[in-house]
């Protein structure tokens, strides 16, 4: 039995907010997250994937040309756009969401290849569940600190050790 909720018929409101603010969450902030061409919530995956693919293509060219730092930054931009694209699909196990998440992981491999410090994939087991994560190892660090996010320019520079926990496409 499907229950009808009052919010089910309010997609227009979310579409309007995304169109006017350019944000998917935290609507009070001024900075746009999605490009102005996004007019509804359903457009987000398609438009963000297009932007991410553009960054990824330029990153691959920079990598071939031997510009590692530029490639890393461009791969990171692609990661962020693929993340936004897959994040706006609510349905678990959606083929498009799985594809976008796979592209996100593929681009993060590019970030890992060009990082200033080694980045390793690790698995964290807790209470019978396993989470994937990335551990950023800084050789000169004295202490390790654990964080849940990373910025490309500061990968491991600011913190002694950094682990970014990675959630799957669900």
Instruction: Render pLDDT for 11-64 as a digit per residue (tens, 0 to 9).
Output: 888 888 888 888 887 878 888 888 889 998 899 999 999 999 999 999 999 999
* Per-residue pLDDT at 157 exceeds 70: no
Nearest to 137 by CA among 161, 102, 165, 115: 161
- Residue 136's DSSP bridge partners are 119, 162
Q: Where are the domains of the chain?
A: 1-114, 116-170
Question: For residues 99 and 85, what is the distance between their CA atoms, to the nearest angstrom?
Answer: 10
Global pTM value: 0.74
Nearest to 153 by CA among 78, 74, 95: 74
- Can you give the pLDDT at residue 123? 85
What would the two tokens of residue 65 be?
């040309």
For the chain, the three-class secondary structure string (H helix, E strand, C coil) is: CCCCCHHHHCHHHHHHHHHHHCCCCCCCCCCCCCCCCCCCHHHHHHHHHHHHHHHHHHHHHHHHCCCHHHHHHHHHHHHHHHHHHHHCCCCCCCHHHHHHHHHHHHHHHHHHHHCCCCEEEEEEEECCEEEEEEEEECCCCCCCCCCCCCCHHHCCCCCCEEEEEECCCC
- Can you give the pLDDT at residue 6? 61
Region of poorest pLDDT, from 41-45, 72-76, 130-134:
130-134
Q: How many CB atoms lie within 10 A of CB 140?
A: 8
- Residue 124's DSSP bridge partners are 131
Domain 1-114 has CATH 1.20.1440.110: yes
């Amino acid at each position: 039995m499907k229950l009808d909720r009052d919010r089910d018929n309010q997609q227009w409101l979310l579409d309007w907010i995304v169109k006017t603010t350019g944000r998917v969450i935290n609507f009070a902030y001024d900075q746009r997250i999605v490009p102005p061409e996004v007019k509804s919530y359903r457009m987000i995956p398609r438009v963000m994937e297009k932007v991410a693919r553009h960054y990824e293509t330029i990153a691959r060219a920079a990598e071939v040309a031997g510009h590692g730092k530029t490639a890393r930054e461009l791969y990171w931009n692609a990661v962020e756009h693929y993340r936004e694209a897959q994040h706006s699909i609510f349905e678990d196990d959606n083929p498009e969401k799985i594809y976008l998440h796979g592209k996100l992981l593929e681009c993060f491999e590019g970030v890992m290849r060009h990082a200033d410090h080694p980045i390793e994939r690790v698995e964290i087991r807790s209470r019978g569940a396993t989470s994937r994560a990335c551990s950023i190892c800084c050789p000169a660090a004295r202490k390790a600190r654990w964080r849940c996010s990373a910025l490309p320019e500061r990968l491991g520079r600011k913190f002694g050790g950094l682990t970014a926990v990675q959630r799957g496409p669900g």
